[in-house]
Amino acid sequence: MSNQVVASKIPLKVLVVDDTATNRQIVAAFLKKLGHDVVLAEDGAQAVKKFQRDSFDLVLMDVMMPVMDGYEATRWIKAVCGDRWVPVVFLSALDKDENLVAGLNAGGDDYLSKPINFVVLQAKMRSLGRAIEGNRRLADARLRLQAYRDHQEAENALAADILSRQLKRPGLSDPALASWIAPAAGVSGDVIAAARAATGELFVMLADATGHGLAASISTLPLLTLFYEMVGRGMTLPEIVARINDQLCQTLPPSRFVAAALLVIDERSGRAEVWVGGLPPVLLLAADGTVARVLDSQRVPLGIVAFDDEMSQVECIDMAPGSEFVLLSDGLIEATNAAGEPFGMARLQATLAAAPPGRRLAAVQTSLLLHLGEAEPHDDVTLLLVTGPAAADNTTRPAA
């Protein structure tokens, strides 16, 4: 036997359970020659107690023992293990099929008949050692993956908090606004901003950064800072668009850009200016909710190329009493249900037309949820409604 013994490359801590002292001693001596650490137990009850006090890699378990047999002890040991895999190999003179089945049903992982063939035992120890080592590596990988995930979730929570603080500006509670942002991930890559200039004009922006989640949300932070700063300085809408684009061209990597729609409403004149770059069309609704104008994107998204004067130019619109602008990200109209059907612009327009002023945002939310069913949007969903001066004076906006 000694000529055949080759020390194991993976030393294990082994619990040997057998009510016969000679058997315990022989198996223990053999395992120690293989380089393993061995602890002995003389019956199932003692094995359970030792297993609860110590940590083992492998158990060699006799079946017929006083106090507690091997089957019962194995059930206890497997319960104590929880999610940790500790293989149990039965060593027994009971070698009938029903004995093997009983051992496996009790939680055993392998079966070796007595008298023990030590060549076979050595081979099994080698095989189990590899399996145990592989399991350890998987467990370590799971722990590292969980730690990474926890770290990422903490980072996302921090980013969400920072972005939330940036978004919580007084202008967003303006009675002319109603908004909804539904992130596809923990942090949205869509943002909205609103502020009134010192002269009373209402400036509004909806921006959708490439992708979604943390990377997209970081791309939107410079926009918010610049938007509020430039509105406060009394800059015009073309100047704001050009300045934001210049900043993003300098700071964003080539693969990143920001689609956006910006508008300003002058309540005194009833005129509005609109700029759309890379987003779905901005809709201008009549007082009855039907679409009066469709303002398609005429410009490239922000942060791709330097703008000349023409790229920053806006479209001027006279607003009729009770009219309302609708700004949205592509995540809304591209949201697909289980059948692969997108929500679509036609469904959006029909929903808006059927809802009374002040209830249109809630109507779209309900319509989208009914459309999706159990499906989840694959992109951030954002909707922003901006009413004209006459409607804002007489309409109570829903909480957003």
Percentage of the chain exceeding pLDDT 90: 68
Query: Which runs of E-coded beta strand occur in 26-153?
Result: 37-41, 58-62, 88-92, 110-113
Whether the per-residue pLDDT at 204 is higher than 60: the answer is: yes
Give the sign of the dihedral formed by CA 324, CA 328, CA 333, CA 336.
negative
**Least confident stretch, 105-109, 152-156, 387-391:** 387-391
Place of tokens 């107690």: 49
> What is the mean predicted confidence (pLDDT) over 344-351?
97
Rounded distance between C-alpha atoms, residue 91 and residue 100, angstroms: 10
pTM of the model: 0.66
pLDDT surpassing 80 at residue 241: yes
User: What are 59's strand-pairing partners?
Assistant: 15, 88
34-38, 82-86, 158-162, 289-293: which has the minimum mean pLDDT? 158-162
Q: Which of 385, 399, 395, 392 lies closest to 263 in space, CA to CA? A: 385
- Asked if pLDDT for residue 393 goes beyond 60, the answer is no
What does the pLDDT read at residue 158? 80
Residue 263 pLDDT level (bands cut at 50, 70, 90): very high
Residue 278's pLDDT band (cuts 50, 70, 90): very high
Per-residue pLDDT at 390 exceeds 70: no
Residue 349's φ and ψ, nearest 5 degrees, are -65, -40
pLDDT score of 395: 39
Cα 258 to chain centroid distance, Å, stands at 22
Of the pLDDT bands very low, low, confident and very high (cuts 50, 70, 90), residue 2 is very low
Q: How confident is the model over 52-68, as pLDDT tens digits?
A: 999 999 999 999 999 99
- Confidence check: pLDDT of 385 > 90: yes
What the chain holds in terms of domains, given with CATH numbers, is 2-139 (3.40.50.2300), 169-394 (3.60.40.10)
Q: Give dist(CA 129, CA 117) in Å, integer.
A: 18
Higher pLDDT, 384 or 169: 384
Q: Hunting for tokens 């194991």 — which residue is that?
A: 8
Rg (CA), the chain: 35
Query: Can you give the pLDDT at residue 336?
Result: 96
Residue 397 pLDDT greater than 50, yes or no: no
Within 10 angstroms of residue 217's Cβ, the number of other Cβ atoms is 26
DSSP labels for 27-69? Answer: HHHHHHHTT-EEEEESSHHHHHHHHHHS--SEEEEESS-SSS-
Which neighbouring-strand residues pair with 259? Answer: 208
Q: What is the pLDDT of residues 70-118, one digit of tens each?
A: 999 999 999 999 888 999 999 988 777 788 888 889 989 999 988 999 9
Mean pLDDT (whole number) for 27-50: 95
Task: Reduce the DSSP state of residue 85 to 3 states and report it.
Answer: coil
Q: Residue 165: what pLDDT?
A: 76
Tell me the pLDDT band of 168, cut-offs 50, 70 and 90: confident
Q: At 299, phi and psi to the nearest 5?
A: -130, 160
Between 117-121, 164-168, 202-206, the lowest mean confidence (pLDDT) is in 164-168
Distance CA 386, CA 392 (A): 9
Residue 284, amino acid: L
What is the structure's pLDDT at 6? 67
d(CA 228, CA 232): 6
DSSP for residue 299: B
Q: What is residue 194's three-state secondary structure?
A: strand
pLDDT in tens, 357-371: 999 999 999 999 999
Residue 209 near residue 283, CB atoms below 8 Å = no
CA dihedral angle for residue 267, residue 268, residue 269, residue 274, rounded to 10 degrees: -30
CA 83 to chain centre: 25
Asked whether the beta carbons of 179 and 190 are under 8 A apart, the reply is: no
Strand intervals (E) in 247-314: 258-266, 271-277, 282-285, 291-295
